[in-house]
A and B are shown apart, each in its own frame.
Chain A
Amino acid sequence: MSTRPPYNSADVQPPVSPVIEPGYTYASVTDKISGIVLTRPTSLGWVAGFALTFTLVMVLTVSVAWLLAKGVGIWGINVPVGWGFAIVNFVWWIGIGHAGTLISAILFLLNQQWRTSINRFAEAMTLFAVANAGLFPLLHTGRPWMAYYMFPYPSTMYLWPQFRSPLIWDVFAVSTYGTVSLLFWFVGLIPDLATLRDRAVKKPIQIVYGMLAMGWRGSARHWHRYQSAYLLLAGLATPLVLSVHTVVSFDFAIAIVPGWHTTIFPPYFVAGAIYSGFAMVLTIAIPLRKAYDLEDFITMRHLENMAKVMLATGLIVAYGYFYEYFMSIYSGQKFDLYLTKMRFHGPYSHFYYALILCNILTPQLLWIRRVRTNVLALFVMSLIINIGMWLERFVIVVISLTRDFMPSAWGRYSATFWDYATFAGTLGFFTMLLFLFVRVLPAISIAEMRELVAETSEDQK
């Protein structure tokens, strides 16, 4: 047997594309990223994009106003499908949020350098997605001004929430998730807000960033505690993000409806959430790096790594679909068998086939390196996966509810104009918030990029 030479880390080939193009200094990364906010003139494209998405927000406002005036009857929901678009959209939006937390927390704990330039806007995406997600169950209650009933407070009626209900778990899971995501994002922003405060020229801008930065001055003792807090938040957000979609899946899995009552739901919901979230990160990252010349910071390495994460989580999701199918056959339970038959041959089978096409078949192209490194192909793929994940929730919610245990309880569901208008409105709200975010806050963490410059220049020595 030949003797292997001892392991030498210098023999290991570095990856082809770097996480940051060489040649940047602390000053130049600071200038480049803060310049997007402070010195770059507002482009026509930004104004046009903002105007378009703002119009959609107006559509949302009208839809919500009409809903409040008339009630949830304006939506397509009725017996037996009481959930419809509202819950489909809720699960879709909350799933999208998961990639942000995964990038910022889990990849941070795993010490993955490539998370650095994408974590900030992915976290912003999480916040905006959670805000939209929260809107749907709130509106779905029919009387959103009574939503505080779901929180435990000492009421004059001596009434308390039912803590054994998954819907109450959901209230706690989603509100905790929203709060922790906001804290994580804001803590990450503090040093950058200080940078913007110190680089802003106009007094009012200095004051606004100054108040938000809270007097951060980069003191070593502050950094010391800051790093502890950030690490702890990452450690807390990691199980949290897994728990949130687990609890969302409990909304289904705890019920006895055929197709919902399965133990595969929590892991497969979490994988699906990460899958759709990474797709959304790509959908945002690709135009963002193009529009603001950030190709040096969001490199092909980032895009390719995200494509790999999508491929991996997509396979977990595919396994979930297969397992659902297998279990219904293996159990021999006639209601489950019938549901599976309805997925393949029922009135909504075209949704199911579209879902398989979007979520399982098309993403297999990501095995090919040329697809993973083709920006346009990745962008199209991310849109397809976003659609596929929406279809998945539609299949889960609608097919199961329209084919319950008794034929007398069967029915059909179709969405109305107001369902579509509300959904389009939240898409606009999400995108509008992103437009505002890239205009007023650094879309890439400047402090972490400086750290990356320090680390990469260390590596080259």
Chain B
Amino acid sequence: MEHRSHIYGVVAEFPTEHELIQAVEKTREAGYRRIEAYTPFPVEGLYEALALKRNNVPLITLIGGLTGGLGGFFFQLWVSAIAYPVNIGGRPLNSWPAFIPVTFELTVLGAALSAVFGMLALNGLPRPHHPLFNVNRFVRHATSDRFFLCIEARDPKFNLSESARFLKGLNAVHVDEVEDD
């Protein structure tokens, strides 16, 4: 098997999202598994074609929201009833309805912060450089108007010339080697 360590993979360029989805389906049928599509906007039907499982962002958000809400509520209770109790005409120290607004705000804050930072962390961002940025056409078009499919070198079926030929056979307008660095 031909395997060169300084190659990240091969990337093919498609003019429309429909051609990309077809190419993804055929690439998976051909047995490739370490593949990734790159699109300038979220494309409907692409996740199914790539057989992506559910992601963990919602779970992280739930945990963040619960932490914010429960932490916020019990913190207020602790402050108002234990750490700094103020007796106002004998009213109850655990005046929980008065704690609801802040509890709600902290639930939203915890959930929103964990949704965003969870998403970034799972995506491995920030990552200023990526091997694909070595491909000129990728830089010029991937965030603008073209759709890319990359077969990565770590795929067990990967073979530089064969995989490139396979992608060309899928009507890609352009196929490039991606150098690793």
A positions within 8 Å CB-CB of B = 25-27, 30, 152, 158-164, 166, 168-169, 172-173, 176, 179-180, 183-184, 186-187, 191, 194-195, 197-199, 210-211, 214-229, 232-233, 236-237, 239-240, 243, 247, 250, 447-448, 450-451, 454
The 5 listed contacts between A and B (C-beta, < 8 Å) are A214-B125, A215-B130, A218-B40, A232-B58, A233-B115
Which residues of chain B have C-beta atoms less than 8 A from A184's C-beta?
112
Q: A232-B115, A243-B105 are in contact. List 8 more A-B contacts (CB 8 A).
A: A26-B40, A158-B83, A162-B86, A214-B125, A226-B42, A228-B58, A239-B108, A243-B104
A220-B36, A450-B40 are known contacts. Are A214 and B143 too (CB-CB below 8 A)? Answer: no
**Cross-interface CB contact of A451 among B41, B102, B130, cutoff 8 Å:** B41
Query: Is B70 interfacial (CB-CB < 8 Å)?
Result: no
Bound-state Cα–Cα, A239 to B100, Å: 14
Return A380 CB to nearest CB of chain B, in Å: 37
The proximity string for B residues 58-78 relative to A, scoring 1 for CB distances below 8 Å and 0 otherwise, is 100100010000000001100
Structural contact, A30 and B80, CB atoms closer than 8 A: no
Q: A217-B132, A227-B42 are in contact. Are A27 and B116 (CB under 8 A)?
A: no
The docked-state distance in angstroms from the alpha carbon of A160 to that of B86 is: 11
Which chain B residues in 48-98 approach chain A with CB under 8 Å? 50, 52, 55-58, 61, 65, 75-76, 79-80, 83-84, 86, 95, 98
Contacts of B143 in A (CB 8 A): 191, 194-195, 197-199, 216-218
Tell whether, in the assembled complex, residue A224 and residue B76 are in contact, meaning their CB atoms are under 8 Å apart: no
CA distance A152 to B125 in the complex (A): 32
Q: Given A172-B106, A215-B127, A232-B58, A164 and B98 touching (CB < 8 A)?
A: yes
- B-side contacts of A186, CB under 8 Å: 116
Which of A27, A183, A197, A219: most chain B Cβ within 10 A? A219
Give the residue name and chain of the A residue nearest to B38 (CB): A218
Among A187, A198, A218, A237, max chain B CB count under 10 A is at A218
CB < 8 Å: which of A169, A180, A239 contacts B102?
A169
Query: What CA separation (Å) do A309 and B52 show in the bound complex?
Result: 39
A450 and B109 within 8 A (CB): no
For B7, list chain A residues within 8 Å (CB).
Answer: none
Asked whether, in the complex, the Cβ of A224 is within 8 Å of the Cβ of B47, the reply is yes
From residue B82, how far is it (CB to closest CB) to chain A in Å?
A: 10
Interface centre among B42, B79, B86 (most CB of A within 10 A): B42
| Interface of A: prevailing SS | helix
Instruction: Evaluate contact between A454 and B41: CB separation under 8 angstroms.
Output: yes
- Contacting pair B38 A447 (CB below 8 A): no
A30 touching B144 by the CB < 8 A rule? yes
Chain B, Cβ-Cβ closest to A34: B144
CB nearest to B68 among chain A residues: A176
Chain A residues with Cβ below 8 Å from B144 are 26-27, 30, 195, 198-199
B122 touches A225 (CB 8 A): yes
List the B residue with the shortest CB-CB distance to A453: B41
- CB atoms of A198 and B140 under 8 A apart: yes
How far is A183 from B102 in the complex, measured between Cα atoms in Å? 20
* B133 CB contacts on chain A under 8 angstroms: 217
Say yes or no: A163 contacts B37, CB within 8 Å: no
Interface on B for A, CB 8 Å cutoff?
A: 17, 36-43, 46-47, 50, 52, 55-58, 61, 65, 75-76, 79-80, 83-84, 86, 95, 98-99, 101-102, 104-106, 108-109, 111-113, 115-116, 118-120, 122-123, 125-130, 132-133, 138-140, 142-145, 148
In the bound complex, residues from chain A placing their C-beta under 8 Å from that of B76 are: 163
CB–CB B112/A236 < 8 A: yes
A164 touches B40 (CB 8 A): no
Residues of chain B contacted by A176 (CB below 8 angstroms):
105-106, 108-109
Name which of A180, A186, A210 has the most chain B CB atoms within 10 A of its CB: A180
A218–B108 touching, CB < 8 Å:
no
Q: Min CB distance, B74 to chain A, in Å?
A: 12
- Selected from B106, B120, B138, the residue in CB contact (under 8 A) with A214 is B120
Q: Which residues of A contact B123 (CB under 8 A)?
A: 219, 221-222, 225-226
The main secondary structure of chain B at its interface with chain A is: helix
Residue on B nearest A212 in the bound complex, by CB: B126
A242 to chain B, nearest CB (A): 10
Q: How far is the CB of A247 from chain B (nearest CB, A)?
A: 6
Known: A27-B144, A198-B139, A451-B41. A229 touches B115 (CB 8 A): yes
Most buried by B among A176, A219, A229: A229
B136 to chain A, nearest CB (A): 10
B-side contacts of A223, CB under 8 Å: 39, 42-43, 46
What separation, in Å, do the CA atoms of A162 and B83 have in the docked complex? 12
B111–A232 CB distance below 8 A:
yes
Cβ-defined contact, A220 with B61, below 8 A? no
- Whole-angstrom distance between the Cβ of B147 and the nearest chain A Cβ: 9
Whole-angstrom distance between the Cβ of B175 and the nearest chain A Cβ: 18
CB closest residue in chain B, given A25: B145
Residue from A172, A211, A250, A451 with most neighbouring chain B CB atoms (10 Å): A172
CA distance A35 to B109 in the complex (A): 35
Partner of A161, one of B79, B116, B122, B130: B79
- Complex-state Cα separation, A189 to B58, whole angstroms: 21
Check if A26 sits within 8 Å of B145, measured CB to CB.
yes
Alpha-carbon separation in the docked complex, A218 to B150 (Å): 12
A451 to B79 CA separation, bound complex (whole angstroms): 49
B179 smallest CB distance to A (angstroms): 16
Please name the 5 residue pairs, one residue from A and one from B, whose CB atoms are nearest each other, closest first: A214-B126, A229-B119, A26-B145, A215-B127, A27-B145
Query: Which residue on chain B has the smallest CB distance to residue A199?
Result: B144
Determine the chain A residues whose CB is within 8 A of the CB of B113 once the complex forms: 179, 183
Name the distance in Å between B180's Cβ and chain A's nearest Cβ. 15
The reply to whether B98 and A163 form a contact with Cβ atoms under 8 Å apart is: yes
Residue pair B128, A210 in contact (C-beta under 8 Å): yes
